[in-house]
Amino acid sequence: MNFSEAFKLSSLLCRFSPDGKYLASCVQYRLVVRDVSTLQIRQLYTCLDQIQHIEWSADSLFILCAMYRRGLVQVWSLEQPEWHCKIDEGSAGLVASCWSPDGRHILNTTEFHLRITVWSLCTKSVSYIKYPKACQQGVTFTRDGRYMALAERRDCKDYVSIFVCSDWQLLRHFDTDTQDLAGIEWAPNGCVLAVWDTCLEYKILLYSLDGRLLSAYCAYEWSLGIKSVAWSPSSQFLAVGSYDGKVRLLNHVTWKMITEFGHPAAINNPKIVVYKEVEKGPPLGLGRLSFPPPLPLAAPLSASESKYEIASVPVSLQTLKPATDRANPRMGVGMLAFSADSYFLATRNDNVPNTVWVWDIQKLRLFVVLEQLAPVRSFLWDPQQPRLAICTGGSKVYLWSPAGCMSVQVPGEGDFPVLSLCWHSSGDSLALLSKDHFCLCFLDTEEGVHTALEQRDSHA
Amino acid sequence: MGDWMTITDPGLSAESKNISQYTSETKMSPSSLYSQQVLCSSIPLSKNVHSFFSAFCTEENIEQSISYLDQELTTFGFPSLYEESKSKDTKRELNIVAVLNCMNELLVLQRKNLLAQENVETKNLKLGSDMDHLQNCYAKLKEQLETSRREMIGLQERDRQLQCKNRNLHQLLKNEKDEVQKLQNIIASRATQYNHDMKRKEREYNKLKERLHQLVMNKKDKKITMDVLNYVGRADGKRGSWRTGKTEARNEDEMYKILLNDYEYRQKQILMENAELKKVLQQMKKEMISLLSPQKKKPRERADDSTGTVISDVEEDAGELTRENMWDLSCETVREQLTNSIRKQWRILKSHVEKLDNQVSKVHLEGFNDEDVISRQDHEQETEKLELEIQQCKEMIKTQQQLLQQQLATACDDDTTSLLRDCYLLEEKERLKEEWSLFKEQKKNFEKERRNFTEAAIRLGLERKAFEEERASWLKQQFLNMTTFDHQNSENVKLFSAFSGSSDRDNLIVHSRTQQKKPHSVSNGSPVCISKLTKSLPASPSTSDFCPTRSCVSEHSSINVLNITPEETTPNQVGRECTNQKWSIASRPGSQEGCYSGCSLTYTNSHVEKDDLP
C-alpha cells in the first residue's frame, strides 16, 4: 500500500471522474483537475467564488462547480479549456445543483424549493419544474439515465413525477400515500421506485415505473421509523434501516421482509468474528523515555498506531445512551451499504457509533463486526470487489475484506485526520480527504505501486 | 413436659391399679385374704386407736370392751377372742392365744398399712408435682395461645392492609391506564391539530412561495441567465427533437418496453429457478422411489394400501416422463401430479422414518435399561470371576513352584535339566514327563533295535569273515588257477548277488546309506520344526540322548521329502512378501506341510546319522 503526497483541498471537494482518468479537487475558488495515473495537474480553472459543490458529468467531459452563496454555477470543459459556461440563478437563489445523466443538462434547485430549473448546454431551452419537495432525497435518476423521479409537494400532498430525461417530458405523475415523504430511490434496474415516509412513521412504498403501487411495507407503528434505505446492486434486496436499530431486508418478488438484522450491543455467537481495534503500545526504548512522562490524554488519539485484534466472544460493544428528548436522536441504523457484488451489507447503528457490522447476505446472518477506537465517520465499498474502506476521523484508514482487515496509518509529517473517502472506479486507489488536504492511497496492485513510484520520481 | 408425663403415667396407673386391687379385694372379702382386707378397711381405725384408747377400756368395762372387741373382730372376720364354749350357758372364756394372734395380725396389718400409707403419700406427692407441672404447661400453652392469637390478629391486620394496598394499586393502575388512554387521546388530538396546523402553515407557505415565485420569476429577472461560450452537441450526437404527441407515445412505448424487458427477465429467472426446483423434485422423487420400493417388498402387508397406488402412480409418471418432456410443460396438471406423488411418498417416508425412530428409541431405551442392569451384574460377576481366576493362578503358581523345586531337586543331575529349565508351566512339565517316559521307551526300543542291529552286524561280520575266508579260499583256488585281472568285476557281481539275497534289515541299512549325503545338505537349510504330530520337545537333534523311534521315520519316501523341501521355502517367502491375505492364507497349508515334511526329514537325518555312528 502506497500513499501519494498530500495535496491541498477545501470543503472536502474531491471527485474522481466517472471514467477514472481524472481527479478534480477544489482549493477555495480554484478547481484543479489531475491525471489519476501521474497526479500531474491537467487543468486548472478559477471560479468566481469559493466552490461549494462540484460534480462530473457522466461522460467525464464537464465539471460543474456550484457557488450556492452567489447563486452561481460554473461549468468547465476538460477538452476545451477555453470553453466556459456560467449560470446565474439571480435573486431566486440556489440550494442544489446537479447534472442530468446525459451530461448536457444541469438541474438547479432554487431557494425555498420554488422550482427546479433545467438548463441545457445544447440548446437555449430552459425548463422549469415547479413544486419540488424539500426533503432528504427528492431527486433520483435511474442508473441507465433514462428517467428521473422527483418528489413533489402540492396542496399538502406528496406526489412523485417521473420524467424522461432525454426531453424532460413528464411520463407519470402520481400521489403517494405518505404523510411527509422523506426520500425516493430507484432500484438499480430502473423499474422500481422506493418511496419512504418521514421518520415519524415507518412506511416504505414501492412503485413501478408506470406508477402502479407494487407494495407497501410497515414494520411497526408509533415509534420513530425509517432512517436509511439502500438497494442491493442486484435489485434483489431493499435494506431498510430504522430507528429501532434494525435492518429489514425486503425481497423483490413479494416485497415482504426476508429477515431482520438486529444490532445487539453484546455479541455471543462464536461464529461471528469480532475485530477490535486496539492501540499499539509505542515501542519502549530508553531514548524515547522522557521525564516527566507525557500525559496519555495529551497525545492525540490518532497519533498512535493501532491494529486489529480478534476479540473472543462474548463481546460487549461500546454503546451510546441516546438522548431521546432531543430531535434526531443518535440511534438506529443511519448508514448502510451493499458491496458491489451484493454479497455483503455494511451497517452502522448510530448508538453504537464505533462499530461497523458486516452481514453476509448469502447466508442472511451477521458475518463480521469491526469495533473501532473512534466513531465511524463513513465507510464505502470498493466498486469492484467486496472490500470496505472505513474512516473514523483519525489519521488511519481501515480496510476490511473477507480475508481479514487492517488498519493503515496515513504517512507524512503532521496529523492527517481522514474525514471522508472516495474510491476510484477501478478499486485500485482511494482518495483520503481531510479538512484541508487530500492524498491518494494506492492499494497493492502492480499498477498502483508503479504509478506511485513514478509520481514520487516526478516530484523528486 | 409431655415426655415427663408419658413417663410418669404408667407408674401412676400401676399404683392406682394396686389401689383398685385392694379395694376390690375388700369388697370380695374372701375368707382366704381376710387379714389384709381387714387392715385395709380399718386404716382410720388404727389411727384413732391411740387417741381414745384410754377412754375405751377401763377397769370396769373390761368385759364389755372385750366383748365389744370380740364382736368387732368377728365382724371383721377375725376368729373370736373367746374360747369355744361347749354349752351356751357357760360363760365364755377369753382365749389369750387368739387375742395374741389377733394382736399380732393387727400389728402386721398395721405395719403393712403404714407402708402402704407411705407409698400413697409419695404417690400423692408425685401426683402433686405432676399436677404442678401440668398446670405450668397449661399456663404456658395458654400464653402461647394468646401470643398466636395476637399474631393471627396482626397477620389479619396486615392482610387487610395489603389488600387495601392492592386495591389502591389496582386503582392506581386503572388511573394510569386511564391516563395513558387520555395521553394517547391527547397525542392523537395534538397530532391531528399539528397536522392541521402544518397544513395551514404549508398552505400559507405555498401561498408565499407562489407570491415569491411571481415576484422573482415573472419580473423578467435579467440576472437569471446562462452565459455559454457556445452550445455543445448532445451526448448522443443527435439533434434535439420537438416535443409532440408522437414523442409522448414513443416515451410510453419505451417505458413499457423497459418494464416488459424487466418482467421477461424476471420471468426467465423464475422459470429457470422453477426448472431447477422441478429437477430437484424429480430427482428427489426418483430417489424416494428407489429408497422406498425395496422396503415395500418386505412389509407388503402393511403398506399395500398406500404404497401400491403410489408405485403405480410413479410408474405412470415415469411412463409419461419418457413420453414427453415434462419440464417444458409447466401446466398445472403435471405440477399437481408431481407434487402429489412427492407428497405421498414424503408421507410414507416420514411415517417410515418415524417408525424407525420409534424402534430405535425403544431399542435404545431397552438397551439402556438392560445395559444398566446387566452392567452391574456383569461387573460383579466379572470381579468374582477375576478373583477366582486370580486365586487359581496363585494356586497354579504355587504348585508350579513346588513342582519346579521338586524337579530341580530330583533332576538336577539329569541330562534334561537344561530342557526343564526352559519350561515353566505345569502342563508342559507333565507333558514333558509323559514325553520323557515315551522317549525312554522309545530309547529302550532303539537300544533293542541297536542291539539287534549290532547283533546283525556281528553276524554280518561273522558272515563276512566266513565269506572272506571263503573268498580267500576261493581266491587261493583262483590264484592257483587263473590270473589276477578279473578280480574286481567278479567281486562286484558277487556283492550284488549277495545283497539281493540278504534280509530286510540289510536292505534298510544300504538304503539309508545311499540317502545319507543328499538329505544332509538339505537339513542344514530347513528350519527345525516343533510338530504336534510327534509332540516333540523343542529339542534340537544335537541333544545327545535324542533318539527318534522308527515310527518317526515317516511314510514319506526320501525322494518325496526332497521334493517337498523346496516347496516349503518358496511358499513361505511368497507369504511373507505378498501383502494379499489370500495369498498368505493359501500358502500356509503348504508351508505347514513343508514343516511337517521338514520335521520328518530331520528325523530321518538323525536316524541316518545315528545309524552311521557305530
* CA of A125 vs chain B CAs: smallest distance (Å): 10
Chain B positions in Cβ-Cβ contact with residue A115 (cut-off 8 Å): 213, 217
Residue of A nearest to B200 (CA): A156
Instruction: Using CB atoms, pick whichever of B231, B254, B258 lies closest to residue A123.
Output: B231
Predicted pLDDT of residue B381: 87
pLDDT value for A25: 94
Task: Taking residues B23-48, report their average pLDDT.
Answer: 44
Question: Is the minimum CB–CB distance between B233 and chain A shorter than 8 Å?
Answer: yes
Instruction: Look over chain B and give the mean of its residue pLDDT values, rounded to a whole number.
Output: 68
Cβ-Cβ contacts under 8 Å for B537 (sequence gap 6 or more): B419, B432, B435, B530
**Minimal C-alpha gap between B362 and chain A (Å):** 36
**DSSP per position, B504-559:** HHHHHHHHHHHHSHHHHHHHHHSPP---TTTT--S--TTSTT----TTTS-SS-HH
A431 vs B7: which has the higher pLDDT: A431
DSSP letters, B562-608, are HHHHHHHHHHHHHHHH---HHHHHHHHHHHHHHHHHHHHHHHHHHHH
For chain B, give the percent of residues with pLDDT over 90.
14
Identify the closest residue of chain A to B201 by CA–CA distance.
A156
Instruction: Give the pLDDT confidence score for residue B368 in this predicted structure.
Output: 53
Contacts of B93 (CB under 8 A, 6+ apart): B82, B83, B85
Closest CA to B539 of B439, B425, B449, B411: B439
Provide the percentage of residues in chain B whose pLDDT is more than 70: 54
User: Given this model, what pLDDT does residue A22 score?
Assistant: 94
Q: What is the mean pLDDT of chain A?
A: 87
For residue A68, what pLDDT is reported?
93
B297 touches chain A (CB under 8 A): no
Report chain B residues whose CB lies below 8 A from the CB of A190.
Answer: 258
Q: What confidence tier does B341 reach under pLDDT thresholds 50, 70, 90?
A: confident
The residue that leads in pLDDT, A146 or B411, is: A146
Best to test chain B binding among A61, A88, A95 (most B CBs inside 10 Å): A88
Residue B345's pLDDT band (cuts 50, 70, 90)? confident
Residues of A within 8 A of B248 (CB-CB) are 169
Query: Average pLDDT in the A257-281 region?
Result: 89
When CB atoms are compared, the residue of B202, B248, B259 closest to A210 is B259
B146 φψ region: left (φ > 0), alpha (ψ -120 to 50), beta (else): alpha
The pLDDT assigned to A369 comes to 93
The vertex-B563 CA angle with B561 and B566, nearest 5°, equals 105
Beta carbons of B243 and A169 less than 8 Å apart: yes
Subunit contact B232:A83, Cβ cutoff 8 A: yes
CA distance B148 to chain A (A): 54
Strand order through the sheet with A147-154: A139-141, A147-154, A157-164, A169-175
Compute the C-alpha angle B67/B70/B75, nearest 5°. Answer: 130
Q: Residue B614 pLDDT more than 50?
A: no
CB contact under 8 A, B206 and A124: no
- B7 pLDDT above the threshold of 80: no
* pLDDT for the residue numbered B591: 41
Task: Using CA coordinates, name the residue in chain A closest to B269.
Answer: A253
Residue B154 reports pLDDT greater than 60: yes
Is the peptide bond prior to A314 cis by the omega test (within 30 degrees of 0)? yes
Q: Which residue has the higher pLDDT, B567 or A19?
A: A19
What does the alpha-carbon distance between residue B475 and residue B469 come to, in Å, rounded to a whole number?
Answer: 9
What's the average model confidence in pLDDT over B536-542? Answer: 41
Picking from A120, A156, A190, the nearest residue to B258 by CB comes out as A190
Residue A77: pLDDT band by 50, 70, 90 thresholds? very high
Average confidence (pLDDT) over A325-340: 90
Q: Are A262 and A358 in contact (CB under 8 A)?
A: no
Closest chain A residue to B197, measured at CA: A156
Name the residue among A58, A156, A191 with its Cβ closest to that of B199. Answer: A156
B229 and A CB contact within 8 Å: yes
Question: What is the average per-residue pLDDT within B109-120?
Answer: 94
Backbone phi, psi, residue A410, to 5°: -75, 120
Sheet containing A41-46: order of strands: A14-16, A22-27, A30-35, A41-46
Give the pLDDT confidence score for residue A357 in this predicted structure: 94
Chain B interface mutation, best of A75, A156, A178, A235, highest count of B Cβ atoms under 10 Å: A156
pLDDT at B528: 41
b vs e for A321-347, b when ≥16 Cβ sit within 10 Å of the residue's Cβ?
ebeeeeeebbbbbbbbbbbbebbbbbb
Asked if the Cβ–Cβ distance from A91 to B221 is below 8 Å, we say yes
Residue B227 to residue A88, Cβ atoms within 8 A: yes
| B224 close to A (CB below 8 A) | yes
**Confidence check: pLDDT of A32 > 90:** yes
Which residues sit opposite A360 in a β-bridge? A344, A365
What's residue B100's pLDDT? Answer: 86
Residue B506 has pLDDT above 50, yes or no: no
> Which of A164, A200, A252 is the mutation pick for testing B, counting most B CBs within 10 A?
A164
Q: Does B1 touch chain A (CB under 8 A)?
A: no
Calpha distance A402→A382 (Å, rounded)? 13
State the pLDDT confidence band at B289, using cuts at 50, 70 and 90: confident
Q: What is the mean pLDDT of residues B442-471?
A: 83
Instruction: Quick: pLDDT tens for A155-184.
Output: 888 999 999 988 888 999 999 999 899 999
Write down the pLDDT at residue A336.
Answer: 93
User: Does B494 have pLDDT greater than 70?
Assistant: no
All structural domains of chain A with their residue ranges? 1-130
Least confident of A52-61, A312-321, B288-297: B288-297
pLDDT tens profile B296-335:
555 444 444 444 444 444 444 444 444 445 555 556 677 7
Predicted pLDDT at B499: 45
Whole-number pLDDT of residue A433: 93
Q: Would you say A100 and A146 are in contact if contact means Cβ atoms under 8 Å apart?
A: no
What sign does the dihedral B88-B93-B95-B99 (CA atoms) show?
Answer: positive
Q: Do A91 and B236 touch (CB under 8 A)?
A: no
- Residue B162's H or E segment, with its range, is helix B96-213
Tell me the mean pLDDT in the region A73-97.
90
Minimum mean pLDDT among A357-361, B414-418, B469-473, B527-531: which range? B527-531
Map B129-154 to HEC letters: HHHHHHHHHHHHHHHHHHHHHHHHHH
Q: Do B234 and A91 touch (CB under 8 A)?
A: no
Is pLDDT of B338 > 60?
Answer: yes
If we measure between CA atoms, which residue out of A37, A42, A38, A47 comes closest to residue A13? A47
How sure is the predictor about B120, in pLDDT bands with cuts at 50, 70 and 90?
very high
What confidence category does residue B478 fall into, taking pLDDT thresholds of 50, 70 and 90?
confident
Can you tell me the distance from the alpha carbon of A43 to that of A53, in angstroms, rounded to the nearest whole number?
18
Q: Higher pLDDT residue, B203 or B525?
A: B203
Residue B397 has pLDDT above 60, yes or no: yes
Cell numbers for A207, please give them: 412503485
Rounded CA gap, A118 and A107, in Å?
5
Of A86, A122, A171, the CB nearest to B240: A122
Which of A397-401, A412-416, B423-427 comes out lowest in average pLDDT?
B423-427
What is the reported pLDDT for B92? 67
B231 touches chain A (CB under 8 A): yes
CB proximity B209 to A under 8 Å:
yes
Mean pLDDT of A21-37: 93
pLDDT at A354: 92
Contact in structure between A197 and A219 (CB atoms under 8 Å):
no
Mean pLDDT of B269-291: 85
* Cα separations in angstroms, B4 against B18, B104, B123, B131: 22, 42, 15, 12
For A179, name the nearest residue in chain B, comparing CA atoms only.
B195
* pLDDT band, residue A293 (cuts 50/70/90): very low
Residues in B closer than 8 angstroms to A209, CB to CB, are: 255, 258-259
Give the per-residue pLDDT at B36: 45
Q: What is the pLDDT of residues A89-107, one digit of tens each?
A: 888 889 999 999 988 899 9
A&B contacts, CB < 8 Å? 114
Asked if B611 contacts B542 with a C-beta cutoff of 8 angstroms, the reply is no
Give the integer Cα–Cα distance in Å for A240 and A230.
7
Distance of alpha carbon B93 from alpha carbon B87, whole angstroms: 12
User: CB–CB of A54/A26 below 8 Å?
Assistant: yes
- Tell me the per-residue pLDDT of B419-433, one tens digit each, with 9 for 90 and over: 555 545 677 777 888
Q: For domain A1-130, which architecture applies?
A: 7 Propeller (2.130)
Q: Which of A404-408, B83-87, B325-329 has the lowest mean pLDDT?
A: B325-329
The pLDDT of residue B324: 44
| pLDDT tens by residue, B558-585 | 444 444 444 444 444 444 443 343 343 3
Distances (CA, A) of A295 to A413, B359, B374: 21, 73, 74
Query: Complex ipTM above 0.85?
Result: no
pLDDT at A370: 93
pLDDT of A185 above 60: yes
